């Protein structure tokens, strides 16, 4: 997730930190999304993990990326960190018996879909795996919007499956960035760009 134009960095590459935090957040949400547990204790436990790992790790990774002059990764991680804080608030509120407003959430989900659709295209210039990673997020928001518009619960299972896939992809990319350089070989597959940028005229 590094910009090729970055001349020098202040911090080590923070992308694995953000992705590991995202994976932990997805793991915390998976039992709830699958309907295995919906108790107040489960909601509050998942909420704290979303706050610390999903929000905390991604915010730190985003700020470090921006300090490294990585505008793309820094923008995505920092913005997405606040989304995880929102997950923390929603889970805590539901555990306390307060349901977030449906109309407001639907409107924000539509906005997020537009943001992530644009970011998905941009990440195609970095790696096919990052492109697939963002595409999973896009599909997740499509399912959430369909569920919000139709009021049906049929999208619950696809959203749960996409949450698990997203967490697995995040770990794969993090391991590729961490372990491939250490091993000196490609232990984890990490393809090149999907799109090729045009040379400046």
Q: Which of 109, 62, 107 is nearest to 87 (CA)?
A: 109
This prediction has a pTM of 0.92
Contact of 174 with 187, CB cutoff 8 Å: no
How far is Cα 70 from Cα 62, in angstroms, rounded to an integer? 9
Domain definitions of the chain by residue range: 15-183
pLDDT in tens, the chain (201 residues): 554 444 578 999 999 999 999 999 999 999 999 999 999 999 999 999 999 999 999 999 999 999 999 999 999 999 999 999 999 999 999 999 999 999 999 999 999 999 999 999 999 999 999 999 999 999 999 999 999 999 988 999 999 999 999 999 999 999 999 999 999 999 999 999 999 988 766
E strand or H helix that includes residue 167: helix 156-183
Exposure b/e, 69-78, CB count within 10 A at least 16 = b: ebebbbbbbb
């Amino acid at each position: 997730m590094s910009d090729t134009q970055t001349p020098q960095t202040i911090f080590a590459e923070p992308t694995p930190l953000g992705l590991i935090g995202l994976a932990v957040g997805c793991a915390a949400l998976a039992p709830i999304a699958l309907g295995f547990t919906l108790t107040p204790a489960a909601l509050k436990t998942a909420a704290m993990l979303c706050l610390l790992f999903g929000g905390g790790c991604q915010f730190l990774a985003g700020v470090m990326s921006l300090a490294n002059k990585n505008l793309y990764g820094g923008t995505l991680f920092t913005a997405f960190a606040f989304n995880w804080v929102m997950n923390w608030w929603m889970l805590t509120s539901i555990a306390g018996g307060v349901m977030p407003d449906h109309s407001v959430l639907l409107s924000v989900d539509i906005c997020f879909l537009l943001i992530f659709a644009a970011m998905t295209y941009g990440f195609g210039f970095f790696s096919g795996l990052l492109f697939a990673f963002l595409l999973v997020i896009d599909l997740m928001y499509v399912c959430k919007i369909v569920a919000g518009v139709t009021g049906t619960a049929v999208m619950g299972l696809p959203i749960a499956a996409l949450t698990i896939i997203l967490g697995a992809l995040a770990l794969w990319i993090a391991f590729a960035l961490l372990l491939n350089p250490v091993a000196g070989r490609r232990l984890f597959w990490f393809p090149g760009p999907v799109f090729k940028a045009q040379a400046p005229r």
